[in-house]
């Protein structure tokens, strides 16, 4: 098996579609709240936000997740693994970041392979052996190689912005009052509904983008390390810790970035999972191990 690279044209087409869809959510939210005039202002806001997000979304993700870029002296084990994997994948070495959290998890962010950051939690580094850490980080390097990070990072950032705006609108409706006449009351009710539905719509866009890419990144990990069962063990440990309630202090809008959804385990949240089930991922990895002739 070989490690395939992603198409930059495909990545930018997805990004354009993403900007259009999430921008449309902003415009629709503005129309429901304040009619055509506010929708026009929200359109300009969405265009400006898209432009800004292209350049700063990775920084926003690092801030939102609490990830801190660390030097080789601060995290020699992590740097050594990332350096080795980047060399094998034929890409520049990404920056390395650490998130202080007991939940084992990891993500990659950045506009392209020249601006990539690979982040791991302290929980991952504490409970995984070197083979398992390497398998997880190889998955993230796979996202870099496949050019997934830009789309996922921008999606997470804009979804975060939509969620915050939705919360502000809800507070305005609930505590600001909507007037006593029937029209004002109806508009306030519509605004409240839009404030609730807009973040859900942004989440569904993330679902459509992220789920299939996880399988490709899992395959990349298997190819880069030659040990697909190391990733199987790592995913099983991560799943167990998440279901046991190991916390990760980050916004739900960043869920699609992590190697495993940090918020799984509760019935309703399971319906909105940004990832394929761990069982399906393990089954695919077992098939890959069989094709590679990797023994148990």
Domain ranges of the chain: 8-292
> Per the residue annotation, which of 134, 140, 214, 239 is the catalytic one?
140
Q: Which residues pair with 258 in a beta bridge?
A: 107
CA distance 158 to 202: 8
Token pair for 288: 């890959």
CA 83 to chain centre: 23
What is the rounded CA–CA span in Å between residue 144 and residue 233?
22
Please indicate whether residue 37 is annotated as part of the active site.
no
**In the block, residue with structure tokens 């999430």:** 22
Distance (Å, rounded) from C-alpha 286 to C-alpha 95?
Answer: 31
| Res 36: pLDDT | 80
Burial profile 175-201: b = 16 or more Cβ within 10 angstroms, e = fewer: eeebeeeeeeeebbeebbebbeebbeb
Query: Mind listing the pLDDT tens digit of every residue in the chain (296 residues)?
Result: 556 555 455 656 666 776 777 677 777 777 776 778 777 887 787 777 767 777 777 888 899 899 999 999 999 999 999 999 999 999 999 999 999 999 999 999 987 888 899 999 999 999 999 999 999 999 999 999 887 776 766 666 666 667 666 667 666 666 665 554 545 555 566 666 666 666 666 666 666 666 668 888 999 999 999 999 999 999 999 999 999 999 998 877 788 889 998 986 544 445 556 678 899 999 999 999 999 888 76
Nearest to 125 by CA among 82, 93, 63: 82
pTM of the full structure:
0.75
């Amino acid at each position: 098996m070989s490690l395939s690279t992603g198409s930059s044209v495909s990545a930018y087409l997805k990004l354009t579609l993403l900007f259009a869809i999430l921008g449309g959510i902003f415009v629709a939210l503005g129309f429901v709240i304040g009619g055509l005039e506010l929708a026009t202002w929200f359109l300009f806001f969405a265009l400006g936000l898209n432009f800004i997000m292209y350049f700063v979304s990775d920084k926003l993700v690092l801030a939102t997740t609490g990830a801190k870029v660390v030097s080789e002296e601060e995290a020699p084990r992590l740097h050594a693994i990332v350096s080795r994997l980047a060399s094998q994948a034929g890409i520049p070495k990404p920056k390395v970041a650490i998130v202080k959290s007991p939940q084992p998890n990891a993500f990659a962010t950045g506009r392209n392979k020249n601006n990539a950051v690979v982040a791991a939690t302290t929980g991952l580094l504490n409970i995984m052996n070197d083979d398992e850490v390497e398998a997880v980080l190889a998955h993230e390097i796979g996202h870099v190689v496949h050019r997934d990070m830009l789309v996922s990072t921008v999606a997470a950032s804009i979804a975060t912005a939509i969620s915050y705006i939705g919360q502000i609108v809800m507070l305005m409706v609930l505590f600001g009052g909507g007037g006593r006449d029937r029209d004002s009351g109806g508009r306030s009710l519509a605004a409240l509904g839009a404030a609730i539905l807009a973040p859900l719509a942004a989440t569904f866009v993330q679902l459509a983008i992220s789920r299939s890419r996880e399988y490709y990144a899992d395959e990349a990990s298997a190819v880069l390390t030659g040990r697909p069962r190391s990733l199987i063990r790592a995913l099983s440990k991560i799943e167990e810790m998440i279901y046991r309630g190991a916390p990760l202090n980050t916004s739900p809008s960043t869920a699609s970035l992590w190697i495993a959804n940090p918020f799984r385990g509760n019935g309703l949240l399971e319906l909105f999972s940004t990832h394929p089930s761990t069982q399906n991922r393990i089954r695919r990895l077992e098939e890959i191990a069989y094709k590679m002739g990797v023994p148990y």
